[in-house]
Structure 1
Amino acid sequence: MSDARDPAAQPERTRFAWRRTTLAFAVVVVLEMRRVLVDGGSARGYAGLSLALCTWLVFLAAGQRRIRQLAATAPRAMPPGLALGAGLCVVASATSAAVLLW
């Protein structure tokens, strides 16, 4: 078995992972929007929805930035600030879901 690695495969898989995660965030926002609109909008519901929407927009911007970085011939490692921002977006998304459910 060869230990040779295809240098083009890893950035492509990473780019697809960013796209899948961004799509998952969009699905969460749509489901939260549906819940707020179908169940009647309370102040807490709209607060959770707005937090989810803002979180998705921030993650979308971070994802697009990383995807552009991966398009380079030799992509750099992900900057720590981008990793921290993506992690905070995940925590904020979970918080918005908790706000919406309670």
Structure 2
Amino acid sequence: MSAEGRDPGLQPERTRLAWRRTGLTLTVVTALAVRLGSTGGPTEVLIAGVTVLLWGAALALCWPRGTGTGPAPIGGRTLPLVALATAGLALLGALLVVRGLW
């Protein structure tokens, strides 16, 4: 495809939608972790609390890009930090599932 035929308006829209999906997914995972943590003991409550903290940090990074209100405040470090928070949430979710199986 030639440079003249490319619509530059589509890429920012796809990027904005991807950041919105990331924020929504993190919100759902956090809600499930809090729900599972609220019925457990102190370990589950601690895991749920850490999940909420990671969710808040990731959401603060995703919000500017997902709403199109501007670039993320920390520049090029947004994606690695969101990936780290997502991996942390996945690990905490796995701990909750394993803990629930015992």
TM-score higher than 0.5: yes
Q: Which runs of 5+ in 2 are unaligned?
A: none
Following superposition of structure 1 onto structure 2, how do residues 56-95 of structure 1 map, counting pairs within 5 Å? 56-67=55-66, 70-71=68-69, 79-95=75-91
User: What's the TM-score, normalizing by structure 2?
Assistant: 0.77
Q: For the aligned residues, what is the CA RMSD?
A: 2.4
Distance 1:62 1:79, change over 3 A: same
Partners in 2 of 1:12 and 1:42 — Cα distance? 43
Matching of residue 12 in structure 1 with residue 13 in structure 2:
yes
Q: How big is the shift at 1:91?
A: 1.2
Matched positions, count: 95
Task: Work out the CA distance in 2 between the residues paired with 1:14 and 1:44.
Answer: 37
| Equivalent AA in structure 2 for residue 52 of structure 1 | T
- Check whether the contact 2:23–2:59 (CA below 8 A) recurs between aligned residues: yes
Structure of greater relative contact order (alpha carbons < 8 Å, 6+ residues apart): 1
Give the partner amino acid of 2:76: P
Q: Does the residue aligned with 1:81 lie in a helix, a strand or coil? A: helix
How far did residue 99 of structure 1 move?
Answer: 2.4
Identity of aligned residues (%): 31
Structure 1 runs of 4+ aligned residues shifted over 4 Å read none
2:23·2:63 contact (CA, 8 Å) conserved in 1?
no
